[in-house]
């Protein structure tokens, strides 16, 4: 009886409330009409005043239509990577073109707002392509290296009306991979040799050939030793300091801001210092090595001097402390360079060797990755070791790690946020700037496999992908929308995880991820989805807007539909315009640059 009375009372209160609100709304309608009428009148008066009155506060500037179209290029053509006239393959570009990196044929275009086809790479498939802030380089189908950009041409760059496209620099060495820094380009050949050339054309002028020591002769002559045969530029081969085993060669390289990592076919990890700043945060993994003397005249075996690059945190522990905490004895920071006076570290011959990291001897490594000032390796058992700068937590050692520099390889634990019964193994790693991405494969006791993308570091512009803007993240977090994805596998008739096919992390904070949505899709699969997130100040995400995205988002084409990277057989030309082969297996590959992005056709 009590419950029935309470229900009736609740219904009566609800009915009374509805009637009261209806009555109040009816009484408020005339007042609202008066307010709307008065607001419309005020708006009309304001519009009449603004159109009939000229305010002489600032000078009136009427931009020309051609200037607007040059500064920001919008989408007026297709963005599929296939030309509309003859169906040839071509690249797709968007983002900043301030230094003529992604669109050298149109130097007046400062930004490309939407993804558009790039005619300057029409019919061309590449072995590799890399972007830096002011210059870029690629490897064509024949294994030759081409360079372009304002940073490459330097003072020889012409006016905006005369574009300068890719220029052949290093040829005849069968290059398969490139790594770019601000001043140098490192190239890995198919035979496992590593070469270095200057990023600027003026610094590539070949020096006069040096004479061999007295009483010695060479069948090839000094020009062959210094690479003058077939190349009119100055380049150098970087050789390992420790002897390689029988049949061992380099298979991968990865460059940071001032250091280079190299991996051999037997799993050995070596490092190369580019200049005196190569070990400011311990990213080398070692401190002492030797370099050739700049005054040496011996071509075959130049004299060498030992040097030591001490990390800043070791040389000056009070570098980030307040003046009150700094003692009188440490008021002057000590030098981090030892025995380097008078040595030019801006030349490509500052160091000519690769040195094996002592703490990694005996550890078989399957993958290497270098951030701006960090280094990472994945062991054959799926464990991750990282070292270098850690002020943003980019190594991923956890939120309780307060050290901003890690000078020795330290294990990165990726299983903190999962139950102990779940086995975690790292299968891929990508790093750029102060941002790091780990691809972790997780397996429970019932053989249930799924894949997570874990990110850490500086996510100030949304690069972490966890829907938050955080400038420091030491504990790797799970990126949304791309973690734990599964699809039906037609071959095994089971659910299989969707793996990231490729990840490109920009040093400026945006990420391009290609999902392998075609691996288990069967013959009807169209391609691989492209997912983007992070900073977007220069339209580098391809959304047509300049607002950053803190969560991975599937990119859509300007003409409609998802942005899917395709694969096909197509005729391929080199960058000289000659046909290399007529039926070549190629696939689209996304690269994140400095405020820009490009998709090119990569030879498989």
Task: Kindly report, residue by residue over 167-181, the tens digit of the pLDDT.
Answer: 999 999 999 999 999
Read off the pLDDT band of 104 (50, 70, 90): very high
- Residue 21 DSSP SS3: helix
Least Cα distance to 148 among 121, 176, 177, 173 occurs for 121
How does pLDDT run across 481-519, given as a tens digit for each residue?
999 999 888 888 888 899 999 999 999 999 999 999 876
Separation of alpha carbons 271 and 287, rounded Å:
11
Average pLDDT in the 264-273 region? 98
pLDDT at 87: 84
What's the pTM? Answer: 0.83
- Cβ distance 275 to 258 under 8 Å? yes
pLDDT at 54: 36
- Position with higher pLDDT, 243 vs 162: 243
User: Is 398's pLDDT higher than 90?
Assistant: yes
Average pLDDT in the 89-100 region? 96
Least Cα distance to 141 among 157, 125, 121, 117 occurs for 125
pLDDT at 136: 98
- Position with higher pLDDT, 18 vs 506: 506
pLDDT at 373: 97
- Cβ distance 563 to 556 under 8 Å? yes
Token pair in block for residue 132: 């830096």
Average pLDDT in the 449-478 region? 96
How does pLDDT run across 208-235, given as a tens digit for each residue?
665 555 554 443 443 333 333 445 789 9
pLDDT at 318: 73
**pLDDT more than 90, % of the chain:** 63
Read off the pLDDT band of 442 (50, 70, 90): very high
Token pair in block for residue 3: 């419950």
Contacts of 373 (CB under 8 A, 6+ apart): 256, 257, 258, 280, 281, 283, 388, 389, 434
> Range with the lowest mean pLDDT among 28-32, 69-73, 314-318, 372-376?
28-32
pLDDT at 361: 96
Separation of alpha carbons 355 and 357, rounded Å:
6
pLDDT at 63: 38
Separation of alpha carbons 542 and 95, rounded Å:
7
Continuous H helices in 230-333:
312-315
Least Cα distance to 414 among 379, 392, 389, 440 occurs for 440
pLDDT at 338: 62
On the CB side of 151, CA atoms within 13 Å amount to 21
User: Is 265's pLDDT higher than 80?
Assistant: yes
How does pLDDT run across 270-318, given as a tens digit for each residue?
999 999 999 999 999 999 999 998 644 455 567 889 999 999 888 877 7
Residue indicated by tokens 């045969």: 229
How far is CA 477 from each of CA 272, 318, 386, 508, rounded to the nearest angstrom? Answer: 31, 31, 17, 20
pLDDT at 111: 94
User: Is 535's pLDDT higher than 60?
Assistant: yes
Contacts of 261 (CB under 8 A, 6+ apart): 253, 254, 255, 269, 270, 271, 272, 368, 369, 370, 375, 377
- Position with higher pLDDT, 76 vs 543: 543
Q: Rounded to 5, what percent of the chain is helix, strand, coil?
A: 15, 35, 50
Question: Which stretches of 249-287 are assigned E, i.e. beta strand?
Answer: 250-255, 259-264, 269-273
Average pLDDT in the 521-531 region? 73
Average pLDDT in the 249-278 region? 97
């Amino acid at each position: 009886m009590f419950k029935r009375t309470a229900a009736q009372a609740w219904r009566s209160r609800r009915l009374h409330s509805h009637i009261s609100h209806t009555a109040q709304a009816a009484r408020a309608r005339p007042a609202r009409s008066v307010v709307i009428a008065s607001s419309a009148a005020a708006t009309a008066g304001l519009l009449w005043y603004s159109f009939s009155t000229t305010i002489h506060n600032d000078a009136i500037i009427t931009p020309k239509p051609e200037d607007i179209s040059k500064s920001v290029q919008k989408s007026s053509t297709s963005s599929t990577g296939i030309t509309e006239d003859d169906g040839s393959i071509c690249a797709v570009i968007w983002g900043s073109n301030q230094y003529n990196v992604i669109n050298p044929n149109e130097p007046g275009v400062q930004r490309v707002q939407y993804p558009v086809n790039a005619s300057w790479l029409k019919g061309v498939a590449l072995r590799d392509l890399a972007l830096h802030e002011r210059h870029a380089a690629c490897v064509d189908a024949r294994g030759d290296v081409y360079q372009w950009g304002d940073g490459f041409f330097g003072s020889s760059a012409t006016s905006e009306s005369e574009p300068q496209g890719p220029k052949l620099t290093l040829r005849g060495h069968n290059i398969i991979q490139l790594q770019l820094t601000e001043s140098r380009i490192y190239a890995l050949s198919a035979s496992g040799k590593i070469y270095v050339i200057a990023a600027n054309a003026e610094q590539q002028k070949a020096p006069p050939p040096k004479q061999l020591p007295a009483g010695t002769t060479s069948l090839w002559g000094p020009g062959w030793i210094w690479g003058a045969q077939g190349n009119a530029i100055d380049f150098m081969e970087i050789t390992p300091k420790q002897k390689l085993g029988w049949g061992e060669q380099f298979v991968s390289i990865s460059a940071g801001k001032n250091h280079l990592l190299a991996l051999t076919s037997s799993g050995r990890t070596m490092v190369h210092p580019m200049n005196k700043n190569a070990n400011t945060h311990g990213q080398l993994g070692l401190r002492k090595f030797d370099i050739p003397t700049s005054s040496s005249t011996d071509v075959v075996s130049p004299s060498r001097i030992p040097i030591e690059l001490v990390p800043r945190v070791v040389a000056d522990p009070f570098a980030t402390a307040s003046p009150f905490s700094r003692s009188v004895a440490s008021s002057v920071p000590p030098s981090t360079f030892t025995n380097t006076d008078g040595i030019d570290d801006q030349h490509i011959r500052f160091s000519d060797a690769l040195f094996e990291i002592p703490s990694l001897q005996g550890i078989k490594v399957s993958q290497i990755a270098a951030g701006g000032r960090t280094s990472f390796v994945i062991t054959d058992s799926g464990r991750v070791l990282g070292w270098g700068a850690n002020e943003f937590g980019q190594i991923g050692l956890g939120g309780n790690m307060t050290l901003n520099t890690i000078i020795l390889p330290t294990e990165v634990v990726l299983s903190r946020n999962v139950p102990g019964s779940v086995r975690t193994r790292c299968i891929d790693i990508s790093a750029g700037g102060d941002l790091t991405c780990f691809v972790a494969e997780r397996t429970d006791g019932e053989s249930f496999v799924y894949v997570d993308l874990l990110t850490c570091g500086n996510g100030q512009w949304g690069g972490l992908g966890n829907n938050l803007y955080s400038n420091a993240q030491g504990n790797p977090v799970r990126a949304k929308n791309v973690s734990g994805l599964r699809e039906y596998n037609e071959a095994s008739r089971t659910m299989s995880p969707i793996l990231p096919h490729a990840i490109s992390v920009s040093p400026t904070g945006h990420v391009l991820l290609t999902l392998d949505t075609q691996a288990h899709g069967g013959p009807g699969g169209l391609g691989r989805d492209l997912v983007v997130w992070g900073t977007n100040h220069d339209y580098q995400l391809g959304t047509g807007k300049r607002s950053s995205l803190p969560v991975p988002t599937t990119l859509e084409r300007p003409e409609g539909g998802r942005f899917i990277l395709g694969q096909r057989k197509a005729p391929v030309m080199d960058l000289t315009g000659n046909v290399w082969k007529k039926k070549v297996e190629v696939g689209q590959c996304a690269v994140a640059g400095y405020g820009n992005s490009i998709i090119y056709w990569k030879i498989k």
